[in-house]
Structure 1
Amino acid sequence: MEVLVDFGPKPDEVILNKTLAELKSQDGVKDAVYKEGAILVETALPSTQILEMVTKTSGKRAVLQGFGDTQSAVAMISSQSCCKRQVLGVIRFQQTEEGALVADGSIDGLPAGMHGVHVHTAGDLSQGCKSIGEHYNPCGAPHGAPEDPMDRRHAGDLGNIVADETGRATFRIVDNVLKVWDIIGRSVAVTERKDDLGRGSSPSSKIDGDSGTPIACGIIARSAGVFQNPKRICACDGVVVWDEKDRPLAGKGRREEKPKRRCCENHNNSSVVNPCCKV
């Protein structure tokens, strides 16, 4: 993964080396190097953990700029106004060179406990999570577990994630059935309950793992891999990447609101009256 750190025009060598050393000392991190203005991390840890580690060690803001060195995708997850609580998160998908798909995510606002995660057929949010269709199931198989063979699981069955007492779920799922190019344009959803992986006695066990209705979902879109995204400023509205990290994608709060000056307020303490004033 490519982590962009707010080092300024030139990084402080002491802070940079400290950050790289901290990353390399972690179990699950194979390598960490500074390259082309970003920290390139080869790891099996969730991206959220890497970002938190970089931010804490360097004391600088950090964002995930690129994910995966092959084809990648991303889904912005939200509750779509379906529930009393707001659920927000991001799931990134990467097709590895070895053939497996990695789903790396962090979701906030979930009830504590286990929740099913599934890729659905349709990328249609016209009715929120109600219009995303059934589980992605090109082989016409019954619902099952991620470790089941293709003929005994839906391709979209990704098992369960666990939300802690704060409502946050951080996860990294490795799947040997799904392919990134098959799911772009579809959707991914998180359910209200635990997925029984098709092992339960409920009539819905072989349909959706008796996991209940989706409480958050999002459309899967193609995204940038490592060093494929040179963006520092959003061309649409001028928000820099560091501020964009902590702001909504659109709407209220996206751009910094500057206080409006009253029409008749004198400028620069001048005695000249603003010409827009009505006398």
Structure 2
Amino acid sequence: MERRHQHHPDHDTYVYGRCDMAMNPTLVDSPHNITGVILFRQKVHKPLEVLIDLEGFSMASMSNHDIQEHGFHVHQFGDLTDGCQSFGGHFDPDDVTHGSPHSDQRHRHAGDWGNIVCDNEGKVHRNLTDHNSNLVGFHSIIGRGIVIHAHKDDLGLGGVPASLKTGNAGPRLACCPIVSSKGVDWEGAQG
């Protein structure tokens, strides 16, 4: 049995990752055309930092007063063999139920990142931090994938069994595998 050696960086060194978002190729006739990039960086024992820069969310059915929210999760695999369908379920190394990104580790999957909200141009520009996912170690998301769902995540409060597993966020609109990257991506996005 081969053991993978995973490099652990110094405490003052950042590790970087990226995810290049694309529509689910198995989804037919979607009004959305979601593209963009999600960037990650982290120092050892510090929260994971995430930059989200996406566009192409359809606003056709929305009124000026609606808020368009979409479930936004880290899934178990970054495998595009069958589009977003082959990404598996939510990344859940601790074998717990679905919850809010603000829940403690015992009450949420490591991949439970809640919802993203589109602006009135169908774009999402957001920074977030997560204390339960990492770029190295047991909770590493490198090699896993991000999925954007069609509906709002109910954060495990929906009162039905599916709520505690998936958040009832609906079909998978777009996805991307998470890969290691150079810091130049992050620095360029901040410039």
TM-score by length of 1: 0.55
CA distance in 1, matches of 2:45, 2:105: 18
SS of the residue corresponding to residue 131 of structure 1 reads helix
Say yes or no: does 1:218 pair with 2:173.
no
Contact 2:33 2:58 in 1 (8 A): no
Letter of the 2:147 partner, please give it. A
Say yes or no: does 1:107 pair with 2:65.
no
Contact 1:136 1:156 in 2 (8 A): yes
1:122 to 77, 81, 92: 77
TM-superposed CA distance for 1:123, in Å, is 1.4
Point out where structure 1 has 5 or more consecutive residues left out of the alignment. 1-67, 230-279
1:185 to 143, 156, 160: 143
CA distance in 2, matches of 1:95, 1:74: 12
TM-superposed CA distance for 1:169, in Å, is 1.0
SS of the residue corresponding to residue 52 of structure 2 reads strand
Letter of the 2:106 partner, please give it. D
CA distance in 1, matches of 2:20, 2:125: 14
CA distance in 2, matches of 1:98, 1:154: 19
TM-superposed CA distance for 1:96, in Å, is 3.7
Alignment of 1:155-174 (within 5 A): 155-174=110-129
Contact 2:48 2:134 in 1 (8 A): yes
CA-to-aligned-CA distance 1:5-40 (integer Å, 9 cap, x gap):
xxxxxxxxxxxxxxxxxxxxxxxxxxxxxxxxxxxx
Aligned to 2:7: none
Letter of the 1:135 partner, please give it. H
Task: Flag the structure with larger Rg.
Answer: 1
Give the paired residue count: 163
Contact 2:20 2:36 in 1 (8 A): yes
TM-score by length of 2: 0.78
Say yes or no: does 1:90 pair with 2:37.
yes
Contact 2:24 2:172 in 1 (8 A): no
* Distance of aligned partners of 1:204 and 1:80 in 2 relative to their CA distance in 1, 3 Å threshold: same
- Structure number with greater CO (CA < 8 Å, separation at least 6) is 2
Alignment of 1:142-153 (within 5 A): 142-153=97-108
Aligned to 1:135: 90
Identity across matched positions, percent: 35
SS of the residue corresponding to residue 18 of structure 2 reads strand
CA distance in 2, matches of 1:161, 1:69: 29
